Amino acid sequence: MKRTLTTGITIWKSRGLLWPVALLLRATACSVKKTARGLIVEPSQGCTGGCIGCSLPEKPSVLEPETLEAWLGVSPAEPVTIHFSGKHSDPLASPDIESLAVAARRHCSMLSISTIGLGMKPGLEQLAVDRWIFSIPAATEKSWIQLRGNNRLQEAIETINTVRENSTAMVEVVLTIWKASADDIKPFNALKKTHSWKHTKVVFGRFDPDGYHFGRLENIAVNSRECPYSVDENNTLSLKNTPQGCPLSGYLFLDAQGTLRPCPFTGDESPHLTEPEQNSWKQAGEWVKNKNGREYPACRWCP
Ligand code: SF4
């Protein structure tokens, strides 16, 4: 709640006085038309992380701004929030990220971007987003190398600080805990203090059996008390608690190929729509019940 309020106040300051009115109108329209209030968008299947052991597609798909416009243009109600993120990818790998941001911002009340903050082109710190979320997998060079096979912690820190100094957008830094970074909360708090990061968060990595690298079982911090997963003597992973509902109930996912899906974790075995037309939004609106009932195979691993 505090996080949402802080985000809202920061955006209000930058978007102007009438921003809450537009937000309220969009939220009401989404509710009346039974359309998702949030859209997660994957700008590219490519990545800028260069982690050892990660195999990306040879020719990563890139979402064209026209495709995003086509989907948003036929939506019965514009989403309140659009969030650029990756599945096994990073939004900054898209050559069209600036055009995508301009197109998305026109159609929502809050545009955020989640990135690992590596390989950022000069000038992108001015990207037209309302919130940057920098997701780092470790807070020490040792654990970073152990996890990623390269040493780019300093680069990530420099990118975060460059954006903080040159953008009016809210900047949040998120530490994702994996097995190699299970003891990194203390060093992360030290980084926060050294660099005066105002908005930070710690989360646990999600198990992803299809993941190219990070989400695999060997990287999950199962020995940490707060980790949502445990493993049994046969090395079989399961959720410690049975969650209710869907954490992304009000969101849909548009992938880099322009396919609309229930969330970033469901694949072709779950429903998906390729045609940007009103009826697709209508059908997607009916997925909420199945999402909350956790009926898709990927839901099994969703904390
Ligand atoms: S995997 Fe299932 S529960 Fe998790 S976000 Fe997707 S639809 Fe929701």
pLDDT in tens, 14-41: 787 888 999 999 999 999 999 999 999 9
d(CA 14, CA 9): 9
34 vs 9, more confident: 34
pLDDT tens digits, 224-245: 999 999 999 998 999 999 899 9
d(CA 175, CA 162): 18
Residue 164 contacts residue 120 (beta carbons within 8 Å): no
Residue 124 contacts residue 92 (beta carbons within 8 Å): yes
Pocket test for ligand 1, best of 210, 299, 300, 301 (most atoms within 8 A of CB): 299
In degrees, rounded to 5, the angle at the alpha carbon of residue 103 between the alpha carbons of residues 45 and 26 is 110
Query: Across the chain, which distance is largest between two alpha carbons, in Å?
Result: 58
User: Which atom number of ligand 1 is nearest to the Cα of residue 270?
Assistant: 7
> pLDDT class for 87, splitting at 50, 70, 90?
confident
Q: 265 C-alpha to center of ligand 1: Å? A: 7
Identify which of 259, 260, 248, 250 has the alpha carbon closest to the alpha carbon of residue 284: 260
User: Dihedral through CA 138, CA 172, CA 3, CA 261, nearest 10?
Assistant: -80
d(CA 40, CA 38): 7
**From the CB of 296, is ligand 1 less than 6 Å away?**
yes
d(CA 136, CA 153): 8
d(CA 22, CA 214): 38
**From the CB of 264, is ligand 1 less than 6 Å away?**
no
> Structure pTM?
0.94
The CA–CA distances, whole Å, from 103 to 64, 94, 100, 151 equal 10, 14, 5, 34
Averaged pLDDT, 240-254: 95
- pLDDT at site 50: 85
Q: 13 C-alpha to center of ligand 1: Å? A: 33
**From the CB of 36, is ligand 1 less than 6 Å away?**
no
Give the residue, by CA position, lying nearest to ligand 1 atom 5.
Answer: 248
Residue 42 contacts residue 264 (beta carbons within 8 Å): yes
